[in-house]
Structure 1
Amino acid sequence: MAFLQASIYSNVLEMEVSVNVILPQKTEKKIGTATKGNLTDVPVMYLLHGMGGNHSVWERRTSIERYVADLGLAVIMPSTDLGWYTDTRYDMKYWTFISEELPTICHELFPQLTTNRAKTFAVGLSMGGYGALKLGLAKPESFCAVASLSGAVNLADRMEDLLAVRGKDFWEGIFGPFEQVQGSNNDPMFLLDQLVKSGKTPPNIFLCCGEEDLLLYGNKKMASALTSNNIEHTFETGPGNHDWIFWDAWIQRVLAWLPVEK
């Protein structure tokens, strides 16, 4: 595998953005480091960080590079600050960046990446789990499968819980007034309803959350909504809290679930 650290300029955000990239590279087997090396139509996974993280956190807290070595899978890990994958009220368009501009830039810089929906995935944890599900529900034509690990996937129903993390000014700077979030494009439940009404083909969805995690309730409610709408999905829980012990273990489960050639 090749591990690249890049600084790209975002015209949408009007700033430099850091992105870490894992790319398949043909290598000979040496001390357990053999890797798959398809150099065209390479499957791609956008791997999103949570609050407090950045472009480097998946690489530092897990063995993601080793986990994907035999999958021939490219991994794009961008830094999105604390923007919640949303076009914020303070005029930082993180949603437009992650959903439109970043894929375009990545395909310009790495033309070996697939443009095939069937080989394009979004995965994230916590805030990034919200972002990955949002990508899948709002951009189903672009993503075949999305996975949320301990994601805040029902935040509009539990906005008061967010106040335990940051103050109201922070959240309203991102989403606007609390009472306006539910039923907006920042509400995954609303996006699910819009997707069903559109008749578009939904992505496969994977939700997981630790049994001791405060976000378990919201994940159960989202899983129930997916079931009610006959959306293909997997929902699993297991021992664990909102931490890297859980995420390092479950990213391996997600990779086994993704529809990439094993």
Structure 2
Amino acid sequence: MAWIECNFFSETLMLSTKMTVLLPEQTAGQVGQRNVRLGDKHPTLYLLHGATDDDTIWLRRTSIERYVAPLGIAVVMPQVHLSFYTDMKYGMKFGQFISEELPEIARSFFHLSDKREDNFIAGLSMGGYGAFKQALTYPDRYAAAASLSGVLDIAAHHARTALSFNPLALVFGDEQLENTKHDLFHLADQVARSSDPKPLLYQACGTEDFLYEQNQKFRDHSKSLQLPLTYVEGPGTHDWAYWDATIQDVLRWLPIQQPASL
């Protein structure tokens, strides 16, 4: 794998920002690792960080580079600070950045596929919310999305922290989030009613995680809508031991298209 940190100017954010990117590299002699390249245009996983981290965290806390090397996919890891991958009420337009500008810039820098069947998105905690929000808002752009210990009931999460210091107030202000474009339950309803292709969803949460109950709630809602959801739970809390193990399951689950010649 080629490992690249990109600093670039964002027209949406009107500032310099960065992303960390892993690119497939076809090698035969690298000790201890098998590297695969599937074609000229790489399938791509957009991998999102949590609230207290940045674009480098997946490389620093997991072996993601080693896990994706035999799969032949690129991994794009953007930095969005504490934005919840949303156009902030008091801040910058990180929702527009993630949905529009980031894929365009990444594809201009690297040979990444723009086909729906080759694009996936995943994240942990805040990034789990961001991954499902993107896939359910733009189901025509992503074949699959995965949430690991995601903040999936954003309305309840926002309301619970309203009486204390609440960084979500910078993102959403005092807006009631239920049945809005920020509410994953509302977005799931819209996708279920639509005739458009539905992204495959993968949801995992540890049974000792403080977000476990809202993950169960979203699981039950998605199942009631008959969305294509794979749900996995088991012992685990909100930590990197759980996410390092679970991202490997996500990668095995991804519907990566193999070229006919392989």
From 170, 173, 180, give the equivalent of 1:173.
170
Aligned residues: 258
**How much identity, in percent, do the aligned residues show?**
40
Counterpart in 1 of 2:241? Answer: 245
Q: Is 2:57 the counterpart of 1:61?
A: no
Cα distance change, pair 75–162 in 1 and its aligned pair in 2 (3 A): farther
Q: Distance between the aligned counterparts of 1:248 and 1:163, measured in 2?
A: 31
Q: Distance between the aligned counterparts of 2:124 and 2:209, measured in 1?
A: 13
Scaled by the length of structure 2, the TM-score of the pair is: 0.94
Q: Deviations over 1:129-162 (max 9, x none)?
A: 0000001100100000000000001121333444
SS of residue matched to 1:68: helix
Q: Distance between the aligned counterparts of 2:22 and 2:215, measured in 1?
A: 29
Counterpart in 2 of 1:216? Answer: 212
Q: Distance between the aligned counterparts of 1:88 and 1:20, measured in 2?
A: 23
SS of residue matched to 2:85: coil
Q: Distance between the aligned counterparts of 2:65 and 2:6, measured in 1?
A: 16
Counterpart in 1 of 2:194? Answer: 198
Unaligned stretches of 5+ residues in structure 2: none
Counterpart in 1 of 2:13? Answer: 13
- What pairs with 1:146-161 in structure 2 (closer than 5 Å)? 146-161=145-160
The amino acid across from 1:127 in the alignment is: M
- 8 Å contact 1:25–1:36 — kept in the other structure? yes
* 1:39 Cα deviation after fit: 4.1
Q: Distance between the aligned counterparts of 1:251 and 1:162, measured in 2?
A: 29
Q: Distance between the aligned counterparts of 1:209 and 1:255, measured in 2?
A: 16
Q: Distance between the aligned counterparts of 1:158 and 1:20, measured in 2?
A: 29
Q: Is 2:79 the counterpart of 1:70?
A: no
Q: Distance between the aligned counterparts of 2:38 and 2:204, measured in 1?
A: 30
SS of residue matched to 1:102: helix
SS of residue matched to 2:53: coil
The amino acid across from 1:30 in the alignment is: Q
From 163, 170, 179, give the equivalent of 1:183.
179
The amino acid across from 2:121 in the alignment is: A
The amino acid across from 2:231 in the alignment is: F
* 1:198 Cα deviation after fit: 2.9
Q: Distance between the aligned counterparts of 2:26 and 2:256, measured in 1?
A: 18
Counterpart in 2 of 1:86? Answer: 86
- 8 Å contact 2:144–2:199 — kept in the other structure? yes
Scaled by the length of structure 1, the TM-score of the pair is: 0.94
- What pairs with 1:89-100 in structure 2 (closer than 5 Å)? 89-100=89-100
* 1:47 Cα deviation after fit: 0.2
Deviation beyond 6 Å, 4+ runs, structure 1: none
RMSD of aligned alpha carbons: 1.5
SS of residue matched to 2:55: coil
